[in-house]
Structure 1
Amino acid sequence: MSAAAVLVLTGCSPYDESDIKRLALPVPASDRTEPVWNLWLGAWIAVLVVFVGVFGLMLYAMIRFRKRDDVAPSQIRYHLPLEALYTIAPCIIVAVFFFHTVVAQNAILKEVKNPDHEIVVVGSKWQWAFDYIDEEAVEGEEVFDIGTPADPANLYLPVNESVRFILKSPDVIHSFWIPEFYFKLDVMPGRINGQKAHNSFDVTPTREGTFTGRCAELCGLYHSRMIFKVHVVSRAEYDKHLTELKKLGQVGQPVGAKRADEIAGLENGDEH
């Protein structure tokens, strides 16, 4: 039974039209799909094997040791083989999960040597801002998109071109999450003592479309409204959007970007 179920699961794909065959994941839209999908599929297989094994043993015990007469069965205080099994087996399962999680994490966080684009993401209570850095379409100037809880921000990305996201926060921890990218990362407030003031990751969008991004970290009163729209478009449409931002006067750093490199409540240079 376990072998048949595992065989069915191995036929699943993240690109299938069926939600069931995608194992409840969205249709992917980035180059970081493979390691996350393999980890997710492996977790389902492991859970299925454990489920079948545990319930199989329960059914076996109910049938094999069911009451047949009024004679009380022999009583024992312990069963060493069984106790060793349920002590060692979970440790092995956790160790295997840990190993494959680290492998997937390293693959997801692998940096692109020279990303095509660099975007500073500022997550603050309770809005997003996106700062497009050194883009040719606007002659190397910085332009930005910004939003509010009532009017969510728009993030534009060119399809099949690598992007480095630099994540910053001027207040509390947020989490930058685009479900179709199969990845999310915490947006940390500024750091001190020589540490960099941001998290970053690289990704390449692989299909055009409009997706909903959101904050995945409970960050306060309007956390549920801290969303944004992701538009993966052609390079021509991407350049056109940046040009429109420049015409609108959205040039330079967005509100909160400078404060995102500081520690809230501390004066500059004060580490006490």
Structure 2
Amino acid sequence: MSPNGSDRSPRRPMRRKLLQALTAGLVLATATGCTYKDFPRLGMPTPVTEEAPRILSLWQGSWAAALATGVLVWGLILWATIFHRRSRTKVEVPPQTRYNMPIEALYTVVPLIIVSVLFYFTARDESKLLDLSKKPDVTVNVVGFQWSWGFNYIENVDGSTGNAKTDKNLAAIPDRFKEAFPANAGGVYDVGTPGTRNPQTNNPGPTLWLPKGKTVRFVLTSRDVIHSFWVVPFLMKQDVIPGHTNSFQVTPNREGTFLGKCAELCGVDHSRMLFNVKVVSPSATSSISRTSRRRGRPVTFPPASRRRATRRTGRRTTCEHPQRTPGCRRS
């Protein structure tokens, strides 16, 4: 019988709530639509580049550290709640401890160790992912603008003229990146608009063609505001900043069509800044370069006096200078 005279044990409601919480957790874990193969990735998509497993490993390690820390904290809370609760038969105040130097030192040292370990692995992997010492097989200048993408393929293609190293339209790219450009590469380009759709998949946005098994260097430039270049299964994104050039390299190892998007809020049509990535065999990429891509002046960062100025007209985006701005059209 309980102290208040009731035969009902006060522990029963607690057990019932615990059972309900465990049941709810089991339902959430099994009703997400994921297969058992998806759980080890902890929400990440299947990697499609040689560099992506390193990012996935860092993601999994961070979750493991967070889970271990959580279990320790939850365990200490439950231990204190169960074994140091107030006794039902005693009313006096339990012994009070104001200072405990070993415990306080532990509270300071342990978080510092956790942060230091996470920082080490993050810095190690970041230095590997951003390493540009290897000469790329393909260089693509990715140009972000409101509200689509342009892709300058810096390569030798039959029918293209000029030299990307000296082309004034590519003046926004620093010389340290131009050193890796092929000699006398005029290049070809593709540029999209918010209404562009891939004729093969009907996915919105322009298509970026990449060869499987080749190292691709992305040189990121912006014509207006900050964007973020994100190919979802690459497990990596990088900011596209006006006046500052970022770059990274990947080696696709799986053919297919993958979705990309802008991961930085950049304006009213940010949600329409979508594009496709098509990874194909190197021979197919060469054929596409010769036949499908448009030849002409690259998509570039324009001078400030010709900065792209846009306005909304219904569902279409129009420009003040459509004849001088690739990707724009008269309304």
Supply the AA of the counterpart residue of 2:144: G
Shift of residue 138, structure 1, vs aligned partner: 5.2
Call closer, same or farther: CA 1:262–1:30 in 2, change over 3 Å. farther
Q: Per-residue displacement from partner, 1:39-82 (whole Å, max 9, x unpaired)?
A: 11210110111011001101110121112121211223333333
Structure 1: gaps spanning 5 or more residues: 1-15, 191-196, 266-272
SS, match of residue 45 in structure 1 = helix
2:298 to 230, 253, 270: 253
Structure 2: gaps spanning 5 or more residues: 1-34, 161-184, 197-204, 309-331
Maintained 8 Å contact 2:41/2:60 = no
1:261 and 1:120 mapped to 2: Cα distance? Answer: 20
Matched, 1:21 2:40: yes
Shift of residue 211, structure 1, vs aligned partner: 0.5
Match of 2:91 in 1: 70
5 Å-filtered alignment, 1:81-100, equals 81-100=102-121
Shift of residue 251, structure 1, vs aligned partner: 2.1
Shift of residue 189, structure 1, vs aligned partner: 0.4
1:178 and 1:138 mapped to 2: Cα distance? Answer: 30
Match of 1:165 in 2: 218
Match of 1:185 in 2: 238
Q: Which range moves more in the overlay, 232-241 or 122-131?
A: 232-241
Match of 2:199 in 1: none
Compute the TM-score of the two structures, normalised by the length of structure 1.
0.81
Call closer, same or farther: CA 1:215–1:143 in 2, change over 3 Å. same
Supply the AA of the counterpart residue of 1:259: P
SS, match of residue 130 in structure 1 = strand
1:220 to 255, 258, 267: 267
Compute the TM-score of the two structures, normalised by the length of structure 2.
0.67
1:235 and 1:153 mapped to 2: Cα distance? Answer: 20
1:199 to 228, 246, 252: 246
Match of 1:79 in 2: 100
Aligned-residue CA RMSD (Å): 2.3
Maintained 8 Å contact 2:209/2:280 = yes
1:17 and 1:238 mapped to 2: Cα distance? Answer: 35
Match of 1:269 in 2: none
Matched, 1:58 2:103: no
Matched, 1:150 2:198: no
SS, match of residue 287 in structure 2 = helix
Bigger radius of gyration among the two: 2
Matched, 1:124 2:151: no
SS, match of residue 194 in structure 2 = coil
SS, match of residue 135 in structure 2 = coil
Q: Per-residue displacement from partner, 1:198-236 (whole Å, max 9, x unpaired)?
A: 111111111001000111111111111111000001122
Supply the AA of the counterpart residue of 1:178: V
Shift of residue 136, structure 1, vs aligned partner: 4.1
Call closer, same or farther: CA 1:263–1:48 in 2, change over 3 Å. farther
Shift of residue 84, structure 1, vs aligned partner: 2.1
Call closer, same or farther: CA 1:261–1:175 in 2, change over 3 Å. farther
Match of 1:210 in 2: 257
1:75 and 1:219 mapped to 2: Cα distance? Answer: 55
1:138 and 1:178 mapped to 2: Cα distance? Answer: 30
SS, match of residue 21 in structure 1 = helix
Call closer, same or farther: CA 1:224–1:74 in 2, change over 3 Å. same
Shift of residue 119, structure 1, vs aligned partner: 0.7
Q: Per-residue displacement from partner, 1:156-189 (whole Å, max 9, x unpaired)?
A: 0010011111100011111111121121111110
Maintained 8 Å contact 1:127/1:147 = yes
Maintained 8 Å contact 1:144/1:245 = no
Higher relative contact order (CA 8 A, sep 6+): 1
Supply the AA of the counterpart residue of 1:203: V
